[in-house]
Amino acid sequence: MQAGAGDLLNRSLDQHVNLAVTGLSQSGKTAFITSLVNQLINEGHGKPLSFFNAVHEGRFIAAKRVPQPNLQISRFDYDAGMQNLGQQEPQWPEPTRSISQIRLAIRYTPQDSLLKYASQMSTLYLDITDYPGEWLLDLPMLNQSYQQWSEYMTELLTSEPRFELAQEFLQTLDQLDPMASISEAKLAELAEQYTQLLLNFRHQLGLSVIQPGRFILPGEHQGAPILQFVPFPFFQRLSAQDYANADEQSLIAMCQARYEEYRDVIVRNFYKQHFVNFDRQIILADCLTPLTNGPAAFNDLQQAVALIMESFSYGKSNILRRLFSPKIDRILFAATKADHVTSDQHQNMTTLLEQVIIKAKKLLSFDGITMKTLSIASIKCTEQGKSEYQGKKLSVLKGKRLDNNQMITLFPGSVPAKLPQPSFFKQNNFDYIQFKPMTAADEHQALEHIRLDQVLQFLLGDKLK
């Protein structure tokens, strides 16, 4: 994506922020963007953004949606999200199925920057980019050959909990001669079997590391041969010479060719067009669902976060870098769905996410990246109260269950402040329930949230001085 002259001027004046909203499936990216836009354009019509300095100091004037710079990217459908939330029986916004973008113009009164000498009002342009979480985990494939990727997938497929579900697929591949010719129809059948396996990993086991991501969310490539290949788990049976000289119609050669096309055309172009342009990032993580799904799901979340962070370009940002080689210089890690636990557990949520990302965070600290971790709820969907249990007052939540619309009151349990031990999962005391939005939203009113004002301050506060 080439920046226009106006964008270059805004970047040189530090009046442009390109924000990547990053997260795995079900982490709440679409709800987050919908609420973030809603808070800015409806500021003053609802709970004030008290921790957002530009608002707190009375320097925030207004924000509005303006045409996005890249006309080849779908527009983020904010209106559809608000329409879902505004129904008599409100529904969550539809999840992301392709990359999308929205641009806001934020008008404010400068206080500390040089801009205050040029004008009484300034405008910050905020580009927010959303994309399916499933596509994120393809980025490490850029540094892997087909054999390396197959060996990595084999390591996952032959380990529990995946192995139990993957045995039939592995047996099918075991019976095939990788050097023999294979029809396109047979390869498409194998790819469909592998795709169903990935879907089972996601929905039955709650796992996060799913590759290739476009197998389960293909977008415009639905049914294309570029999405019809599988990993080969038995490279130890092949000599390097046999592999190099394989007939182009053989199973191993066709899978290799399609993998390389997928990696070089789809994944590389996606990275070049979008990821290298980001200069701020929020990484959303749902730690509550893996706590419910068990230790394997939680370990998989840790691995997925590490893979995501390896794929981004981080480094200190200055004017020259912002103009010609933008780098992400500020990252917010957000533990989402804080309204699904009681408020006394929010600090534990934050600390737990810190533990999940600690290895990656240590590496980033060497580059001087500014980082913060928060527990948030983009759109608050529960109420908190007190209930008496065995003679003691207990904090509880009240909300509508997502699966049956029933209003319930419960104590969901305690969130561990450290990486959970096996005993935590054996006790099985954590009761994570998904909730619906409670009341119909008004598009002219700010949505109820938890700590989005702190999110805005961290991501934009230094730009609105």
Q: E-strand spans in 73-157?
A: 74-75, 100-108, 122-130
Residue 432 forms part of a structural domain: no
- The strand pair at 60-66 and 407-410 is best described as unpaired
CATH number at residue 359: 3.40.50.300
How many domains are there within the chain?
3
pLDDT at position 49 is: 92
Residue 245 forms part of a structural domain: yes
pLDDT at position 378 is: 96
Q: Tens of pLDDT along 174-225?
A: 999 999 999 999 999 999 999 999 999 998 998 999 999 999 988 788 889 9
Residue 433 forms part of a structural domain: no
Residue 355 forms part of a structural domain: yes
Q: What are phi and psi of 372, to 5 degrees?
A: -150, 150
Q: What are phi and psi of 333, to 5 degrees?
A: -100, 125
Query: 107: which strand partners?
Result: 62, 123
pLDDT at position 312 is: 67
Are 211 and 148 found together in one domain? yes
CB atoms closer than 10 angstroms to residue 434 = 16
Are 180 and 215 found together in one domain? yes
pLDDT at position 335 is: 95
Q: Tens of pLDDT along 322-342?
A: 545 557 888 899 999 999 999
Domain limit, last residue, from 217, 239, 270 = 270
Are 188 and 320 found together in one domain? no
Are 159 and 228 found together in one domain? yes
Residue 33 forms part of a structural domain: yes
pLDDT at position 428 is: 67
Return d(Cα 424, Cα 414) in angstroms, integer. 10
**Amino acid type, 267:** V
Are 358 and 456 found together in one domain? yes
CA distances, 112 to each of 27, 50, 117, 333, 464 (Å)? 36, 20, 10, 28, 9
pLDDT at position 273 is: 78
For 28, left (φ over 0), alpha (ψ -120 to 50), or beta?
Answer: left
pTM over 0.85: yes
Are 112 and 256 found together in one domain? no
Residue 13 forms part of a structural domain: yes
Are 339 and 293 found together in one domain? yes
Q: CA-based angle 374:378:380, to the nearest 5?
A: 110
Are 127 and 145 found together in one domain? no
pLDDT at position 9 is: 47
Which residue's entry shows tokens 């305690």? 414
Are 296 and 264 found together in one domain? no
Are 205 and 258 found together in one domain? yes
Question: For the chain, which ranges sit under pLDDT 70?
Answer: 1-14, 112-119, 311-326, 363-367, 428-429
For 315, left (φ over 0), alpha (ψ -120 to 50), or beta?
Answer: left
Domain around 61: 5-136+271-380+439-463
| Strand order from edge to edge, sheet including 392-400 | 383-389, 392-400, 407-410
Please measure the distance between the N-terminal and C-terminal CA atoms of the chain and give it in whole angstroms.
Answer: 29
Are 326 and 423 found together in one domain? no
Token duo for residue 37: 């836009």
pLDDT at position 317 is: 59
Residue 90 forms part of a structural domain: yes
Are 203 and 263 found together in one domain? yes
**Amino acid type, 328:** I
Domain limit, last residue, from 240, 270, 300 = 270
Domain limit, last residue, from 254, 270, 286 = 270
pLDDT at position 12 is: 46
pLDDT at position 144 is: 94
pLDDT at position 389 is: 73
